[in-house]
Structure 1
Amino acid sequence: MSIDGDLSASLVLRRGGLARVGLERIALIEAIGGLGSISAAAKQLGLSYKGAWDGVQALNNLFDAPLVVANAGGKAGGAAIVTPRGLAVIRAFREVEREIGAALSRLEAGLAAPEPDIGQGLGDLFWSLGLRTSARNALRGTVAAIADGEVTARVSIDLGEGLAIASIITRRSREELGLAVGKPAVALIKSSFVVLGDDDPSEGETNRLAGTVVDREDGGEVSEVTLALSAGKTLVATVAASEATLVVGARATATIAPSNVILAVE
C-alpha cells in the first residue's frame, strides 16, 4: 500500500469478539487458491503446517460459510480449494485496501503542504505524537552530516538554532535506518547517560550542550534534573541527590558520549 517513508495503515477486519482477519490470513487464502494445497501454501509463506491449518479453521469459523475446503492429506499435501465465498472475501479485502491506500495518499499530500506559520507540514507534527520510547530524552532534528568509518559512522543531528548532537552508530545501522543528510531523525538518550557539570560548552568529540536548570525532582538517592537548551529543547539527567549546585536557575553543561546517543527514524 505504500513505499518506505509514506503514510501507511494496517487493515484488520473483526466480527464481534471473534478472531481478526488481517493481511496475513488473506495472503494465506490467496496462496491456497493458487497452489491448491494448505501445506504448499504454508511452505510458500514460511508457516508451519499447523499454523496454516489453524488459520484456515479460524477463517472458516469466522464466516457463515467456509472460505477454504480441504480434503484429507495433512502435511503430505491434500488438495484444498478456495470457495466462491473465499474468493469474494479476498476481492472485498483488496478493494477496501486499495480505497484506504488512495485515501491515505490524498491525506499525505494534504499533510505535506507547509503551514505558513510554522514552516513545516502537519504530517511532521502528527507523526511526532506516535513515537514512544523508554529513553527519557527524545530530541528531534535533521541529519546535518555523516562521516563513515570502516565499521562505524558519526552522524550529526541539527536540533535547530545552532544546537547539534552527534551519534556514533555502526555503518550497517546507518544504512538500515536510511539516514542521509537532510532527513529527519530522533536522538534518544537515557537520562543516566547525561552528565551535568559547570558551564563549559567547549568543542570536542564529546557532546556538550549548555543550558539552564529549570526543574529538579529529588529522590532518596538520585535526583532528576531538567536542563533547558536552545531551540526550545530540554534535556533530563539523573544525578546524585547530594549534588547541591544543580539548583533551578543554575547554568550547567550536559556531557553525552556520542556512543550513548541512539538514533531512530519513523
Structure 2
Amino acid sequence: MTGNDKSLELHGSLWLTVGGERFGGEQRIALLASIAECGSISQAAKAIGMSYKAAWDAIDSMNNLAGEALVERLAGGKGGGGTRLTSRGAQLVANFRAIEEEHRRFVEQLGRQADDYLLLRRISMKTSARNQFLGTVTRVQIGAVNDEVELAIAGDQRLVAIVTRESCESLGLRPGVQVYALVKSSSVILLADDEPVRVSARNQLSGTVVRVLPGAVNAEVVLELPGGAHLAAVVTQASCDALQLAPGRRVMAIFKASSVILALPA
C-alpha cells in the first residue's frame, strides 16, 4: 500500500448481558473499578467522566440485574461515610478484566487472519481466464465509446484495458478502485527480451520463464514477473522451440488492451 493509503483495522467491544438484558460493558466496569479505588461514588464518576446521577443509575441497574449488591455504602464516622465494592462486585471486575484480555487477543488474532480471508476470497474467484491480476486503477481516459483504464499491479507494473463507456460507469471505475484484470493465456504473445521490437500492443511485461509444459501442438509457458506475479501464455510448440523457451529465459509478454477484462472483487 502507498503512504496515502489507510489500512483497515479490526476492533470489537465486550458487553455482558443477564437474562437478555444489557448488564454493562467497559464503562460500567470502569465505574466499579473506580469506586474500589476512590471509595466514593461522586469521585469515581468524576474520574471516568460520568455524571453522579448516571453513576447511581448504572449501579442500581447492575445491582438489580445481578440479583445481589455489587456496591455498598459504608457507615459514617468521623471521616464520613463512603462506598465500596462487595466481594461479588470485586470478583465481577476481576473476571471482566480477564475476559476482556482474552477478547482482545481474539480480536487481534482475527485481525491478523483478515488479510488471509480476503486472499481466500480472491483465490476462490472462478473464471476461465488463465491470468488474474489484482490491481488499482491509476488513470481513466474517457472516450466517446470506449474508455482506457490504467492499472497498477504488483511489482510496479502497469496494465492498460479498453472497456466500453457503459462498462466503466457501471463498474464505478476511477482512480483508487481495486479491480481484477483477466487475460486469457491464448491472448499473450511472447517475444525474445534481448531482441528489441516495436509493437502496437499496449501491454508489454518483461519476465523470466519458470515453467514450460510442452505439447504436440501448443506449449504452456509460465513467466515470473517483477513482484512475484505469474503470467501464463499458450504458444505453438514450434514457436516455443524457435524462441528456445526454457526456465531462466528472459522474454517479453505482450497483449492488447482490448484483451483485458476487468472485474470488481466480490
Q: TM-score range by the shorter chain?
A: 0.5 to 0.7
| 1:190 equivalent among 184, 196, 203 | 184
For residues 148 and 158 of structure 1, do their structure 2 counterparts lie closer, same or farther at Cα, with a shift above 3 Å needed?
Answer: same
Residue segments in structure 1 that go unaligned for 5+ positions in a row: 1-109
Q: Does residue 245 of structure 2 align to residue 246 of structure 1?
A: yes
RMSD: 2.6
Q: Which residue of 1 aligns with 2:216?
A: 220
SS of 2:170's equivalent in the other structure is helix
- Measured against aligned partners, the alpha-carbon deviations of 1:211-253 in whole angstroms (never above 9, x if no partner) come to 0000000111000000110111110000111222111111000
Q: Which residue of 2 aligns with 1:146?
A: 140
SS of 1:161's equivalent in the other structure is helix
Residue segments in structure 2 that go unaligned for 5+ positions in a row: 1-106
Larger radius of gyration: 2
Structure 2: distance between partners of 1:208 and 1:114: 37
What residue identity is the alignment partner of 2:230?
T
Contact 1:211/1:253, CA 8 A, preserved across alignment: yes
Structure 2: distance between partners of 1:239 and 1:203: 18
For residues 126 and 160 of structure 1, do their structure 2 counterparts lie closer, same or farther at Cα, with a shift above 3 Å needed?
Answer: same
For residues 203 and 194 of structure 1, do their structure 2 counterparts lie closer, same or farther at Cα, with a shift above 3 Å needed?
Answer: closer
Structure 2: distance between partners of 1:256 and 1:187: 12
Structure 2: distance between partners of 1:201 and 1:147: 27
- Measured against aligned partners, the alpha-carbon deviations of 1:74-122 in whole angstroms (never above 9, x if no partner) come to xxxxxxxxxxxxxxxxxxxxxxxxxxxxxxxxxxxx89x975xx9x845
What residue identity is the alignment partner of 2:192?
D
Q: Which residue of 1 aligns with 2:173?
A: 179
Structure 2: distance between partners of 1:201 and 1:121: 41
CA drift of 1:125 comes to 2.0
Q: Which residue of 2 aligns with 1:155?
A: 149
Structure 2: distance between partners of 1:232 and 1:139: 11
SS of 2:247's equivalent in the other structure is coil
For residues 179 and 123 of structure 1, do their structure 2 counterparts lie closer, same or farther at Cα, with a shift above 3 Å needed?
Answer: farther
Contact 2:203/2:256, CA 8 A, preserved across alignment: yes
Superposition map of 1:1-266 within 5 A? 121-122=115-116, 124-199=118-193, 200=196, 206-242=202-238, 243-244=240-241, 245-266=244-265
Contact 2:137/2:179, CA 8 A, preserved across alignment: yes
- Measured against aligned partners, the alpha-carbon deviations of 1:114-142 in whole angstroms (never above 9, x if no partner) come to 75xx9x84553242133110011111111
Structure 2: distance between partners of 1:161 and 1:201: 23
Contact 1:217/1:224, CA 8 A, preserved across alignment: yes
- Measured against aligned partners, the alpha-carbon deviations of 1:27-70 in whole angstroms (never above 9, x if no partner) come to xxxxxxxxxxxxxxxxxxxxxxxxxxxxxxxxxxxxxxxxxxxx
